[in-house]
Structure 1
Amino acid sequence: MNSKEAYILYLKDFPNVFVAYHENEFFIHLQDALKGFGLDKNSEDVKEDTVSITRFDVSYVSATRKQADFIDYKSFERLFQISKSMRALDFFNEVSKHKYEKEKNFDGLTTNDFHHPEIAQKFIEERNELMTKVLSFETKERKLEPYIKIVKNIYGTKIAPVNFVNISTALKYSKPIPSSIIAEHLRQAGIFDEHNQPKKTFIDKNYFRVITLSSSKLDKYISQTSVLVLQSGIKLIEEIIDNRLGGKKL
């Protein structure tokens, strides 16, 4: 594949997603797809036969990688079906919308063209396929709606926050950054205190949530505090890291 056929999507809530076209077929970077759907490549849910992997040259769009694993759109759909992430539907819709806008299968056709049986049949098949997918998405969204409402009532957003210990998986960078390093950056920026807790200002502005879970066992009282990062907090962390990198890529 020519490296110029691979490019990066800058989606609203899912930045830096690698996609590619090859011989009129759409592909998406495997790692980006797994991240968008909240899946682990080594988990039991993601079987070897779930995805069809193709190696493509990405040196044209990546300063750190020459080749990467991509999957076709059917594999992308299968990952969507097994995903349990509340962000899965949004991710799938954004990528799929780009795919269909890019393809423009019927761009430039006139009403006269539909007198040709092959073109008319292709249009009907494409329409039926899209209608089936829309119905499938609507069904899945209805099933998730009660859970989305719970999350929205608790956190003020339909996207569940990320525990800070797992924050690296939610960031846009291809190379993971230890949470201890991220905490150090946030302390230096005046966002975290010396106990790695967000300061009240940043909690009030809906960047973070702090929750404490308490339990007792064998007359022992156990208390555990967790820092949750909301979507605005993820973007804030990325801005801090970008500023400290000074334009360097991870």
Structure 2
Amino acid sequence: MSSSDIFIGETIGTAILILLGAGVVAAVVLKASKARNAGWLAITFGWGFAVLTAVYISAPLSGAHLNPAVTLGIAIKDNDWSNVPTYFAGQLLGAMIGATLAWVAYYGQFHAHLTDREIVGGPGTQSTKAVEAREAQAGPVLGVFSTGPEVRNVVMNLATEIIGTFVLVLAVLTQGLNDNGNGLGTLGALITALVVVGIGLSLGGPTGYAINPARDLGPRIVHALLPLPNKGGSDWGYAWIPVVGPLIGAAIAAGLYRLAFA
């Protein structure tokens, strides 16, 4: 496959992944959404279906990595780094496009949510100081775009992202998911989606299971740039964990693959 095919495939596929993934979070958490309060099961299965859809769309062009951690794991497994920058670039751009499209789709709900005094605080509300303190780290809709910990502890949060991504990448490398030798082919799309659902259900509670640096960083950048009223901070102090953790987890998974399965 050519570099242009890889870039286009990863951009389109990751955009679809984030559009549908961020979309299900928006549907569940934003005011005036018909799916509000649908819960964690809706979010985890929504992300799984997002992976399934994105893989089927992008696999013919790029092999459907859709995740820098997957790209790193495959590069270590095959000892081939030639297309890694192209994959990374397409994934980050696609993630930003997908996050922007999710904002467009839920524009009215974002506005209703972020102008509700019960949610963002305001004059006369008892929660104003608490809201302001919380927004210094993470704004009230940041979770639609990127992940954040329930208990803020660097070691624990990093470990959770490492472990979750380790499971994902090891599954990709060992379960025959590459029908073209370069990524998640259509044969393994359903398996991969179910693995993501499983990770979300079992390991997603502590940090929101980024398990994908582009999935977290790209939308976080979009959150920082979008003209959202009362959006609060983008929590840049935490932002390195869902980037570094998944890359470490992918490297460990690829190393184990080479030791035990190759």
Same fold per superposition (TM over 0.5): no
Structure whose CA Rg is larger: 1
Q: TM-score, normalised by structure 1?
A: 0.26
Which has the larger strand fraction? 1
Given the two structures, how large is their TM-score scaled by the length of structure 2?
A: 0.25
